[in-house]
Amino acid sequence: MTNLVQNLEQCWYTSPPWGQKIPPLLVSLLERVYIKSAKAFGYCTGVEWSEHGWKYEIFACNTNITVLESELIGTGNLQPNTKEKPVFRLGELVEFRFVSWQWATNPHSLGHSTD
* Chain segment 29-56, per-residue pLDDT in tens: 999 999 999 999 999 999 998 888 899 9
Q: What percent of the chain has pLDDT over 90?
A: 41
In 1-115 the beta strands, taken as DSSP E runs, fall at 31-35, 40-50, 53-60, 63-68, 72-78
DSSP reduced 3-state for 4: helix
Given this model, what pLDDT does residue 93 score? 82
- Higher pLDDT pick, 85 / 113: 85
pLDDT tens readout for residues 90-111: 788 878 777 665 545 555 555 5
Is the pTM above the cut of 0.85?
A: no
